[in-house]
Structure 1
Amino acid sequence: MKILLVGEYSRLHNSLKEGLIELGHNPKIVSYSNGFRNYPTDYSIDYTICRLKFVNYIRQAIYKLSKFDIANLEHGLRFYFLLSKFKDYDVVQFINEQPIKTTNNFELYLIKKIFDNNKKVFILSCGVDYLTLNYDLSNKDKKSLLQPYLQNPKLHKYYEYIHEYLSPNYKKIHDFVFKNCTGLIVTDLDYIDANKSSPKFKKLIPYPINCEKLTFQEQIFKNKIIIFLGINQYSYYQKGIDYFEKALTQIATKYQDKVEIIRTQNIPYAEYINLYNKSHILLDQAFTYDQGYNALEAMAKGKVVFTGAETEFMEYYNLTQRVCVNAIPDVDYLVNELSFLIENPQEIIAIGKRARTFIEKEHNFIKIADEYLKTWKNN
C-alpha cells in the first residue's frame, strides 16, 4: 500500500512507518521537526525562514502584538508547495484533525486538497482535539490534562490554548474532517470516552514502540537510586509536575543518602537522554489513565515510570501485576510510592522487567502496524 502519514508529535508515526516497512509497504511522513526532538520526516514543512535572525525579530514582535506566530504560516506554505507529491495514496492518516499546524483557514484549504486527491483519510485522537477537549471540560472529576485548570481557574494563563480549539474557525476544520474522513482511531484510554460515540470511531490501537531501537537494561544499583524528572515549562501543570516536585522535596530529605534526584529543563536533547538513561525511576505525569509515548519508551528501557495506570488500564490489558506506577495528584501518595521503591529496590527490578515484557507484547511496532493495515483495509 502507498501510505502518507501527516504530522508527528512523539515518534508515533515514525514507529508506525518502521512497522509498515517491515510488512512490505511504502509509507511516507510529512511533518515539521517538533522542536528540539527533531523527528525524522520524508517531507519537511519545518520553518526555516523564520529562524533567520532578522526575520525572527519580526516574528517575535508580531507575536507580542497579536499572539500570531508567522512560523505557522510558513508551515502551511511549505506544505502547499509539496501538494503535488501528496496525491493518489491508498491511505492518508492525520496525527490529529489539525496536523499541519498553520492558520485555521489555510489549514482547512490544505486539508481539503488532501481529501480531494486521495482514497481514504483516517484521523488519530492522541492529544488535544475538539471532541476530547469538550468531553474533558464537561467531566471535571475525570483525570485529564485540563483537571488542574478546572479545579483552579487561576491557572488560566497556562491553558490559553484551549480557546483556539473552541473557536468557530477551528470548529470548521473539525466538522469538515469528521464529515469526510473514513475513520477515527484513538491511541490510548485517555481519549476513548470522548470519541467512542462518534459514528466515525473505529477502535483503539495502542502506540507502536520499536523495541529494537530501545535497549533494555536490568536495573543496577551502585550507590544511590536515581530519580529523573524532566520539566517542560509549557505542560508543567497539565502533567502535574508541581506534585512531583513537592514529593521529591520530601524524598530528598527523607532519603538524602539513598537517592540522587535529577531535574532537567530546557536542555539539549542528547544531554536530556543521557541523564534520563542513568535513572531507575522516571516521573512522567499525574493526570492520565494510560501511558503516553515518553512513558512507554522509558518502560521499554526497564525504568519504573510514574504515569497513568488506572484500574481501567489494568483491566483493559488483563494485568494482575504493576508494569508502572499509577501517578495521581496527591503528594502524600507519591511520597509513599517512592518510599516503598527506595526501601525495596528489588521491586524496581521486577517492575522494570514486567514493563519491558508488556511493551513487547502490547506495543510491538510490527503487530501494531498490522492492526492499522487491517483497520484501513476493512473500512
Structure 2
Amino acid sequence: MRVLLVGEYNRSHRYLKEGLQNLGHEAIVVGMDDGFKKIDVDIEINQKFRIGPLQKVRSLMIRLFKIDLHFIDVKKQLLKHKAQLENFDVVQFINESSFLCSAKDEQNVFDLLTSWNKKAYILSCGTDYSSVKFSIDKKFRYSIHTPYFEGRVKPTDFALGLKYLTPEFVKLHHHIYNKIEGVISSDLDYYIPLQNHKKHLGMIPHVINVDSIPYQAPNIEKKITIFHGINRANYYKKGNDIFDAALDLIDAKYKTKVNIIKVENLPYKEYITAFDTAHILLDQVYAYDQGYNALEAMAKGKVVFTGAEKEWEDYYNVTPNTIAINALPDAKEIASKLEWLIENPEKIINISKNARQFVKQYHDHTENAKLFLEKWS
C-alpha cells in the first residue's frame, strides 16, 4: 500500500511511516515542521509568510486585499511536488487544519490533495472541532479549556483552538467529514468526543518507535531530579502554572533531596535528551490520557505526571500510580504525589519499568501500523 501522511504533530506521522515501512509499505510525510519543535518531514512545506519578517507583509495583504500569501505559497509548493504527492492508496491528514490557513483555504488544499489520491482519512490527535466542542460544552470534568473558563486565558489564545467553533471552520469540518472514509482517534481525549460519531473508526493509541528510544533505568543514589519542560505558548493550557506551584512547595520542603530542572520552548531533538538525567517528568495537567511527550518519557523509563484518568485506567485495565501519575489540576495534590515518590524511591524504580513495558505493549509503531492498515482497508 502507498500512504501519504499530511501534516506532522509530535512525530506521530513520522513514527507511523516507520511502522508502515517495517511492514513493507510505502509512506511519505508532507507538511510543516510543527513550529519550534522542528519535526523532520520528508517534504517540508515552508512557512516563510507565517514565521519571520514576511509575516508582516502577509498581514498587510490580508487586511488590504484579503489575499493570504501563506496559503498561496503553500499551494504553490504542493503543486511543485505534485508528482510526489499523487496516486496514493490512502491520504491521512493530521488535522482539519493541517496547514494553518483560513477555513476556506484549508478546504482548497484538502480538496487538492484528495483529488490527487484515493481514500482520505483524518487523524484526531490535537484540537479539532469535535474535541473543542465537547470541551467547551463542559462534558469533560476538566480540560484544556478549564483555565479559559476560569478567566486565566484570553479567548484569543491560539492554543485553545476556539477557531474550530467559528462558522467557517464548522463548515470546513462538515465538508471534510463528508469526503473522508473515516476518522481515527489517537488517545482518550479525542476518542471520548468521537465515540458515537458515525465516521469514527475507533482509537489507535499514539504510535511510538520504542526501539529508537533507549531505556534508562533510574539511578537514585543522590538527589531525585524532577524535570519540567514548558511550552510558553501553552503555559496555562498544559497546567504548567499548577506544576510550578507544586514545585515551589516541594523545593521549600525537600531542597536537599531534589534537583529541579526547568526548560522552555526547546526543539524536539533538544527536548528529548534534556530530561535524560531526570527521574520524574511533569508533562501536562488537563488531560485524560498521555500525549507524545509523556509517552516518549515513559519509554525512557521516567515517572511521568500526565493524563492518567479513571477512563484511561479502565480502558487499559491498569492500577493507579503504577505506570503514570495522574496530574490533577491541584498543586497540593501534585506536591503530595511528588512527596510520596521522594519518600519512597523504590516506587520510582517500579513505575519506570512498568512505564516502558506499557508503551511497548500499546504504542509500538509497527504493531499499531497494522491497526491503521486494517482500518484503511
User: Secondary structure of the residue that 1:176 maps to in structure 2?
Assistant: helix
User: Partner residue of 2:27?
Assistant: 27
Q: Distance in 1 between matches of 2:83 and 2:188?
A: 37
Counterpart Cα distance in 1 of 2:178 and 2:55: 38
Which runs of structure 2 are paired with 1:205-220 in the superposition (5 Å)?
Answer: 205-220=204-219
1:50-71 alpha-carbon deviations (Å, 9 max, x no partner): 7675x366458779999x9854
Pairwise CA distance, 1:46: 2.1
Equivalent residue number for residue 342 of structure 1 = 342
Q: TM-score, normalised by structure 2?
A: 0.92
Letter of the 1:197 partner, please give it: N
Instruction: Give the whole-Å Cα distance in 2 for the aligned partners of 1:218 and 1:293.
Output: 20
Deviates more, 1:360-369 or 1:189-198: 189-198
Cα deviation, residue 159, structure 1: 5.5
The CA distance in 2 between the partners of 1:26 and 1:270, in whole Å, is: 25
User: Distance in 2 between the 1:52 and 1:149 partners?
Assistant: 28
Q: Is the 8 A contact 2:38 2:267 kept in 1?
A: no
**How much identity, in percent, do the aligned residues show?**
39
Q: How does 1:261-340 map to 2 (within 5 A)?
A: 261-267=260-266, 269-320=268-319, 322-340=322-340
Structure 1 portions without partners, runs of 5+: none
Shift of 1:40: 1.9
Question: In the alignment, what sits opposite 1:158?
Answer: 157
Give the partner amino acid of 1:131. S
Change (3 A) 1:130 1:267: closer
| CA distance in structure 1 between the partners assigned to 2:112 and 2:18 by the alignment | 27
The code of the aligned residue for 1:194 comes to: P
Measured in 2, the distance between the counterparts of 1:267 and 1:119 equals 37
Contact 1:75 1:101 in 2 (8 A): no
Q: Which amino acid aligns with 1:34?
A: D
CA distance in 1, matches of 2:309, 2:279: 22
Structure 2 portions without partners, runs of 5+: none
Are 1:300 and 1:355, in contact at CA under 8 Å, matched by a contact in 2? yes
Which residue is equivalent to 2:14?
Answer: 14
**Matched letter for residue 332 of structure 2:** D
Q: Distance in 2 between matches of 1:269 and 1:161?
A: 22
Aligned pair in 2 of structure 1 residues 338, 45: CA closer, same or farther (>3 Å)?
same
- Secondary structure of the 2:368 match is helix
DSSP 3-state at the match of 2:123: strand
2:242 equivalent to 1:243: yes
Aligned to 1:188: 187
Question: How many angstroms apart in 2 are the aligned matches of 1:225 and 1:101?
Answer: 41
SS of 2:276's equivalent in the other structure is helix
| Corresponding residue of 2:376 | 376
Taking the aligned partners of 1:234 and 1:216, their CA distance within structure 2 comes to: 30
8 Å contact kept, 1:73–1:103: no
Comparing 8-17 and 102-111, the one that deviates more: 102-111
Q: Indicate the residue corresponding to 2:100 in structure 1.
A: 101
Distance 1:161 1:310 in 2: 21
**Counterparts of 1:110 and 1:171, CA distance in 2:** 17
Structure 2: how far apart are the matches of 1:12 and 1:64?
35
1:256 paired residue number: 255
* Structure 1 residue 147 displacement after superposition: 1.7
Measure the CA separation in 1 of the matches of 2:271 and 2:17. Answer: 25
Q: Residues 240 and 286 of structure 1 are in contact (CA less than 8 Å); yes or no, is this contact kept in structure 2?
A: yes
**2:109 is matched by which residue type in structure 1?**
L
Q: Which residue of 2 aligns with 1:39?
A: 39
How far residue 179 of structure 1 moved from its aligned partner, in angstroms, is 0.6
Flag the 1:269–1:175 CA change in 2: closer, same or farther, 3 A: closer
Partner of 1:145: 144
**Aligned residue pair count:** 376
Q: Relative to structure 1, is the Cα distance of residues 141 and 102 closer, same or farther in structure 2, using a 3 angstrom cutoff?
A: closer
> Contact 1:76–1:102 at 8 Å: present in 2 too?
no
Structure 2: distance between partners of 1:39 and 1:284: 19
Structure 1 residue 112: Cα displacement: 1.0
**CA shift in 2, pair 1:268/1:120, >3 Å:** closer
Deviation at 1:78, TM superposition (A): 2.1
Deviation at 1:117, TM superposition (A): 2.5
- Give per-residue Cα distances to partners, 1:123-156, cap 9 Å, x unaligned: 1111111111111111255222112212336643
Q: Deviations over 1:320-350 (max 9, x none)?
A: 3520100010111111100000111110010
Query: Is the Cα–Cα contact under 8 Å of residues 152 and 236 in structure 2 kept in the other structure?
Result: no
State the one-letter code of the partner of 1:336.
S
The answer on whether the counterparts of 1:2 and 1:89 sit within 8 Å (CA) in structure 2 is yes
Q: Partners of 1:291 and 1:62 in 2: how far apart?
A: 40
What is the TM-score normalised by the length of structure 1?
Answer: 0.92
Equivalent AA in structure 2 for residue 356 of structure 1: R
Larger mean Cα displacement after TM superposition, 346-355 or 132-141: 132-141
How many Å separate the matches in 1 of 2:369 and 2:157? 35
**Using the alignment, how far apart are the partners of 1:52 and 1:310 within structure 2?**
40
The superposition leaves residues 8-66 of structure 1 with CA deviations (integer Å, 9 ceiling, x where unpaired) of 0111101100000000000011011112322221211122477675x366458779999
Aligned pair in 2 of structure 1 residues 84, 234: CA closer, same or farther (>3 Å)?
same
How far has the Cα of 1:219 moved from its partner? Answer: 0.1
CA distance 1:319–1:293, change in 2 (3 Å): same
Matched residue, 2:233: 234
CA RMSD of aligned residues (A): 2.5
For residues 153 and 136 of structure 2, what CA distance do their matches in structure 1 show?
16
